[in-house]
Amino acid sequence: MIQRSNKYKKINPPPTPVSENRFMQKFKLGTLISRFGDTNSISIQQHFLFKERLGSGKFSNVISVISIKDQKIYAIKESLHVFKSIPEVLDRLKEIQAILNIFNSEITIPLLHIVNFYAIWENQGKIYSQIEYCNSKSLQDFIDFQSNLNDISDDFIWDLLYQISLALTAIHEKNYVHLDLKPENILIHQITIEGNTMTILKLGDFGLLKQKGDQIRFEGDAQYLSPEILQKESQKITANFSNDLFSLGATLYRISSNVDEDTFERQIKKIQRTQKLTKLKYNIERSPQIIEIINALLDPNPNSRLTLNKIFQIEKIQQINNEKKDLYQKLINFYQNEFSSGFTISNKLYLFQKDPQQFEEKLQKKLKKEKKKDLKSKISGDVPSFRVPKNNFMTKMENYDF
């Protein structure tokens, strides 16, 4: 049992998922808890000690916690969006299903480069995720910390290309597109095995994940989006693997060019706007092959853009792969228990997994009933309130002195 100290405060995360939102009382998002059992009988606050706030963004807040059960550090992510309708819940369930599909397999080398999910639950119309804690922040933090990127070697660029290509392989082989690849979503994790410290890059944040061929809308960080998404902002466009490859090229250019943020943005915007690849500016001497690969990834034409298959055929990448064979076997052994498909799936989500069409039909029937009840409520003056109580997870966290 962990000894509680002044450093670690017991958190008050969402209690047993009970919402004051009338809609969510009638239909609770399927609970996915891997390590704690049924949240209807066990309060999640029994299981964690608060450690530190990791960051806040437009769509979510993230903190680190210590599990009382296994004494390991995890991250917990709170979605800031409040779900107010069945279609919204259905969309979120599809995203959760995509995450389950990616991890529903034996552990592989590509899967090592994806931030692992341990539990997902809903409270008061918001989504909370217990995910793998990466101890060295993000690639964006690494960039911001450097006074200049002059010290970044070609070997580091090659390793970045190799590891993130593996991460994309884990997603693409399940027929999904990430659509939000950027330095901020590449997390750095250092791990020591048999006395050797290794740096692993992991791709996270699956909020924009789509199945290949699904219609997408203009979202994400424009600096890293492929030209075809931006050019067709007002038109229908479907998710494609090549979207992620352009984002990979932009990420590689950002960290290898040693140009400032404004210059980087101008260079990428020029490609996006003109759909022509001109000579990119570098304030450091780089291997001609690295520059050639970045250019091939930033090709404005998605049909001629460099693919993952061609990346893994590059001699230098094959060399890195051969050098890391023994290392990856040790990593797989280390993570064997971490990537177990141990989600306990509620009946609602199980039905969604088994027969999505039947699940959607049931939801639509519920939606029609809700509309009728809302109409009656408006006539009687009793309008349902979707206000979320202020005493939510992150608000409570502000009360702690850390």
Q: Is 316 annotated as a binding residue?
A: no
Please answer whether residues 291 and 282 qualify as being in contact, where contact means their C-beta atoms are separated by less than 8 angstroms: yes
Of the candidates 177, 197, 199, the one whose C-alpha atom is nearest the C-alpha of residue 113 is 199
User: Residue 18: how many CB atoms within 10 A of its CB?
Assistant: 13
Task: Give the whole-angstrom CA distance, residue 109 versus residue 332.
Answer: 7
3-state secondary structure of 108: coil
3-state secondary structure of 73: strand
Tell me the two tokens of residue 71: 């004494």
Tell me the two tokens of residue 11: 């958190």
Please answer whether residues 336 and 107 qualify as being in contact, where contact means their C-beta atoms are separated by less than 8 angstroms: yes
Instruction: For residue 57, give every residue at least 6 positions away whose Cβ sits within 8 Å of its Cβ, in sequence order, or none.
Output: none
Tell me the two tokens of residue 104: 């529903």
SS3 content of the chain, % helix, strand, coil (to 5): 45, 15, 40
Please answer whether residues 175 and 212 qualify as being in contact, where contact means their C-beta atoms are separated by less than 8 angstroms: yes
- Name the strand (E) or helix (H) holding 185: none
Please answer whether residues 216 and 242 qualify as being in contact, where contact means their C-beta atoms are separated by less than 8 angstroms: no
Binding-site members for ATP are: 77
Binding-site members are: 77
